[in-house]
Amino acid sequence: MKRKLVTVIQARMGSSRLPGKVLMPILGKPVLWHIVQRLKKAEGIDQVIIATSRLTRDNPIAEFCQKQNVFCFRGDEVDVLDRFYQAAKASGAEDLIRITGDCPLADPELIGQVIHYYYDYGFEYCGVATGAGVAHEGFNGRFPDGLDAEIFSFAVLERAWKEADGVLYREHVTPYLWKHPDKFKNGIFRSKKIDYSQMRWTMDNAEDYDLIRNIYESLYPENPGFLMKDILELMKKEPGLFSKNQHFVGKEGYEAFWH
């Protein structure tokens, strides 16, 4: 029997660096719309839901979900682990994929590969090699920042929800899992041939938004399902396009998760 696999997108309007980013327009559609459409293309996902806060300022996200017929769970803004857990519980998920609202280039093909890797090896948690989860390691087969995806069982999420204490663990959902390999069977899905750690495809600042909007304008009209490989091809043709947010690389503060 296949286990129910639900993707939970964490989204809120209150970003300090780029407020309202999840509903900013790209080719006439909100960023969240594009993320949902890309995730629906990933093989093996049964449902895509959005977890936002109960704050009034996040009402536009709930309204977006209603219009798009996407299940929306509203919970605590600060205790994101609780919000994520309650959303997962409400969906009846047995396994979860975690995506954040600042990843408009989430790659359905890569996510499909991670899903297979997770099930084939019987992991309890598995993450794409990018972001804070691998920040304590050196040069080691990373994917571009912004292609983040994590998959884990509801059982280990529930254990983290019960056991994890402190701001770091409650605000960020999964550090309790990837910082305790002694407690959980963890995996990391790495890039086999090339390290892409100098590539920043996340959306946290105005320059990131400009880059991502330009990528969509270049690729989406002819290929709405464009993938990482298509972005890399574009990068070869127009390297200048990708320089606008390079000054943020290495300044994400990911190392703080390991101190």
> What are the residue ranges spanned by the domains of the chain?
5-204
Q: Residue 149 in contact with residue 109, Cβ under 8 Å?
A: no
Closest by CA position to 31, among listed 42, 39, 21: 21
Give the integer Cα–Cα distance in Å for 115 and 130: 16
CB neighbours of 43 closer than 8 A, spacing ≥ 6? 108, 112, 115
Buried b (16+ CB within 10 A) or exposed e, 236-247: eeeeeebebbee
Give the integer Cα–Cα distance in Å for 96 and 151: 5
The CATH class, in words, for 5-204 is alpha beta
Instruction: Identify the pLDDT of residue 94.
Output: 98
Give the integer Cα–Cα distance in Å for 89 and 252: 31
pLDDT single digits (tens) 135-186: 666 667 899 999 999 999 999 999 999 999 998 899 989 999 998 999 999 9
Percent of the chain whose predicted confidence (pLDDT) is above 90:
81
> Please, which pLDDT band fits residue 17 given cuts at 50, 70 and 90?
confident
Helix 31-40, helix 59-68: angle, nearest 10: 40
Q: Note if the pTM is more than 0.85.
A: yes
pLDDT single digits (tens) 73-120: 999 999 999 999 999 999 999 999 999 999 999 999 999 999 999 999
Q: Is the pLDDT score of 259 beyond 90?
A: no
pLDDT single digits (tens) 199-238: 999 999 999 999 999 999 999 999 999 999 999 999 999 9
